[in-house]
């Protein structure tokens, strides 16, 4: 994990993968994260509970900071689906 406020350097030789969905499975020894692109499995990540929790906390903090700096609440997929469903009812 990179120290806070350290620029992330990404090598040109590393493939970039876009995803717009995910599914999770909890195993007896780790977490399986399946990244989806347009509903189709794109990549599978296996990680320990410790790294998964640390990632969760880092993502939560990054999004919270973005929301605070922009004074804008980022909607989740669930938020968007609820709004669209309420609009269509």
**Rounded distance between C-alpha atoms, residue 13 and residue 46, angstroms:** 22
Average pLDDT, the chain: 91
**Same-domain check for residues 56 and 79:** yes
Asked whether residue 12 is domain-assigned, the answer is: no
Place of tokens 């009812």: 89
- Record the pTM: 0.76
- Cross-strand partners of 34: 23, 44
pLDDT of residue 51: 97
Give the model confidence (pLDDT) of 62-79 as tens digits: 999 999 999 999 999 999
- Cross-strand partners of 33: 24, 45
Give the model confidence (pLDDT) of 20-63 as tens digits: 999 999 999 999 999 999 999 999 999 999 999 999 999 999 99
**Rounded distance between C-alpha atoms, residue 40 and residue 22, angstroms:** 9
**Same-domain check for residues 54 and 82:** yes
**Same-domain check for residues 31 and 66:** no
Q: Please choose, from the candidates 12, 9, 3, 37, the residue with its C-alpha nearest in 3D space to the C-alpha of residue 23.
A: 37
**Same-domain check for residues 59 and 78:** yes
Specify the pairing of strand 40-47 against strand 21-26: unpaired
For 74, the domain range is: 49-89
């Amino acid at each position: 994990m990179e120290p806070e406020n350290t620029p992330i350097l990404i090598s040109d030789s590393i493939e970039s993968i876009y995803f717009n969905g995910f599914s999770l499975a909890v195993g007896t020894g780790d977490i399986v994260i399946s990244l989806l692109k347009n509903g189709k499995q794109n990549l599978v990540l296996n990680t320990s509970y410790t790294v998964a929790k640390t990632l969760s906390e880092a993502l939560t903090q990054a999004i919270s900071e973005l929301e605070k700096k922009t004074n804008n609440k980022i909607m989740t997929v669930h938020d968007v689906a609820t709004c669209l469903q309420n609009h269509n009812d």
